């Protein structure tokens, strides 16, 4: 089973809203990732959690705030986003941060009005 | 600086024939290469990978070839099926901690019935 689940599938929010994206995996993976993907571009890494600790922050603006409550869950808290933040947000996991294969969820399509 | 390059933005192939997707890289420190397939509005799906110490890896209809001296890899799909129509991303990982996927820009494959 290589399933990563993400909720919600679609999200529309205003620039003053606060919302959260959720990701879950039950593969026993110890590394989890947030990516942002714009149309016709490859995924762009945002954050990496390894053993529930933030190990990489790719200079992401503070309006994006990740959280890893436990080894199976990863959240991305959103606040005061801009319309240019509209994108597909992808969660991925791997056995460890040194593993070469990452498994992706279906993504959350975010629209910021 | 694009370390992983997919020079063909699109490819069209007849059903039943071979699809060959190409990828070039510049960094000799990459030690794993991966291919992902992506349908619109979905997360990338891992297809196949190859270690830098091998020159071929096969999984069903998918075969990846690696030519280290030319810094080139290719994904062969035989026989191609209409359901293979998607964007294919080549990605590479470098030796070291916090292994970060370096992505190509993708090739859009259309398999025509």
B34 at interface of A, judged by CB pairs closer than 8 A:
yes
Number of H helices, E strands in chain A: 0, 11
Nearest chain B residue to A32 by CA distance is B98
Cβ within 8 Å of residue A72, ≥6 positions away: A24, A25, A26
Write out the DSSP string of A9-62.
SEEEE-TT-EEEEEEEE-S--SEEEEEEE-TTS--EEEEEEETTEEEEE-S--T
Q: What is the DSSP letter of B78?
A: S
Per-residue pLDDT of chain A (113 residues; tens, 9 = 90+): 569 999 999 999 999 899 999 999 989 999 999 999 998 889 999 999 999 999 999 999 999 999 999 999 999 999 999 999 999 999 999 998 778 899 999 999 999 99
Q: What is the pLDDT of residue A27?
A: 93
In order along its 113 residues, chain B shows pLDDT tens digits of: 789 999 999 999 999 999 999 999 998 889 999 999 999 888 999 999 999 999 999 999 999 999 999 999 999 999 999 999 999 999 999 866 667 899 999 999 999 99
Q: Does A38 touch chain B (CB under 8 A)?
A: no
Nearest to B98 among A6, A97, A103 (CB): A97
* Among chain B residues, CA nearest to A91: B43
Q: Residues of A with CB below 8 A from B104's CB? A: 42
Closest chain A residue by Cα to residue B94: A100
The answer to whether A102 contacts B43, with C-beta atoms less than 8 Å apart, is no
Residue A82 sits at the chain B interface (C-beta within 8 Å): no
pLDDT (0 to 100) of residue A48: 93
Beta partners for residue B34, in sequence order: B49, B91
């Amino acid at each position: 089973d290589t399933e990563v689940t993400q909720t919600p599938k679609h999200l529309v929010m205003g620039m003053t809203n606060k919302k959260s994206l959720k990701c879950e995996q039950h593969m026993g993976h110890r590394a989890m990732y947030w990516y942002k993907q714009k149309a016709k571009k490859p995924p762009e890494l945002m954050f990496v959690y390894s053993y529930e600790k933030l190990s990489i922050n790719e200079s992401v603006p503070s309006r994006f705030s990740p959280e890893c409550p436990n080894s199976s869950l990863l959240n991305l808290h959103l606040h005061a986003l801009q319309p240019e933040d509209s994108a597909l947000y992808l969660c991925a996991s791997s056995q460890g941060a040194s593993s070469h294969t990452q498994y992706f969820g279906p993504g959350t399509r975010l629209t910021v009005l | 600086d694009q370390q992983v390059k997919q020079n063909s933005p699109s490819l069209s192939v007849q059903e039943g024939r071979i699809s060959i997707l190409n990828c070039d890289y510049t960094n000799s420190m990459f030690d794993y290469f991966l291919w992902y397939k992506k349908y619109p509005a979905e997360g990338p799906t891992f297809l196949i990978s190859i270690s830098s110490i091998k020159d071929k890896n096969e999984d069903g209809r998918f075969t990846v070839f690696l030519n280290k001296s030319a810094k080139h890899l290719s994904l062969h799909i035989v026989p191609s099926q209409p359901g293979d129509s998607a964007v294919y991303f080549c990605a590479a990982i470098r030796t070291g901690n916090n292994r970060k996927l370096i992505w190509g820009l993708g090739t859009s494959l259309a398999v025509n019935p």
